[in-house]
Structure 1
Amino acid sequence: MKRFLATYMGSPNSSKKAEWDKLPEEQRKSLEKAGMEAWQKWGQEHHKAIVDMGAPIGKTKLANKDGISNSHNMITAFTVVEAESHEAAAKMFVNHPHFTIFPGESVEIMECLPMPTQK
């Protein structure tokens, strides 16, 4: 089995997020409840493939040769799964509640490659 990192993408400035924020509180809370139930169902359906359910992601710091600074990206959460192929891993996220119920935009799935070794 291969291992894959799935990153949940979303922008606080997207039109989908703006529409979500405009919803009446009662309607938004109802959607949040439905979304969490759907996410739990997704987790149950794929529990054998989930290595790490992951978590939401907070603010970003960037470290480079110039030091440390505040940064921003569109990653809102992550999950690690195992699958036979990249395509099989991606299929787990088709119609995921992150973007079908919540205002997320997409899920990006990347294979976790083995570390190179020196010979």
Structure 2
Amino acid sequence: MKRFLAIYIGTAGALEKAKWNELDEEKRKAIEASGMKAWMEWGTANSAAIVDRGTPLGKTKRAASQGITDITNSMVGYVIVQAESHEAAARLFENHPHFAIFPGDSVEIMECLPLPGQ
């Protein structure tokens, strides 16, 4: 089985489109509860494929030859899954609660390749 890193993407545009910040607190909390229930159900249904459940991601720092800086990106969480193919891994995320219930933008799935020479 191959391993894949799936990055949950969240953009300001997706928040605006969903009018997430305009929801009253009660409505938003109800959607959050529904979304978390669906997310846990997704995790249970796909538990055989999940290698690392991942976590939400916090603020980002970039380390480069010019030094360390604070940056902003669209990555909001990750999970590592295993599947027979890239296509099969991507199919695990069809209609995922991240974007089907929550105002997430998408999930980007990439294969974890072996180190050269290993």
Category of TM-score, reference length = shorter chain = over 0.9
CA distance in 2, matches of 1:54, 1:2: 17
Give the Å deviation of 1:34: 0.2
Report 1:24-39 matches (<5 A).
24-39=24-39
What corresponds to 1:17 in structure 2?
A: 15
Question: Over aligned residues, Cα RMSD in angstroms?
Answer: 0.9
Q: May I ask how many residue pairs the two structures share in their alignment?
A: 116
Q: Deviations along 1:57-87, whole A, 9 cap, x unmatched?
A: 0000000001100011100000000000000
- Partner residue, 1:49: 49
What's the TM-score once normalised by structure 1's chain length?
Answer: 0.95
Runs of at least 5 residues in structure 1 that lack an aligned partner in the other structure: none
Distance 2:95 2:3 in 1: 21
| Misfit runs of 4+, over 6 Å | none
Unaligned runs of 5+ in 2: none
1:117 is displaced (CA, Å) by 1.5
Q: Residues of 2 paired with 1:2 and 1:73: CA distance?
A: 27
Query: TM-score when scaled to structure 2?
Result: 0.96
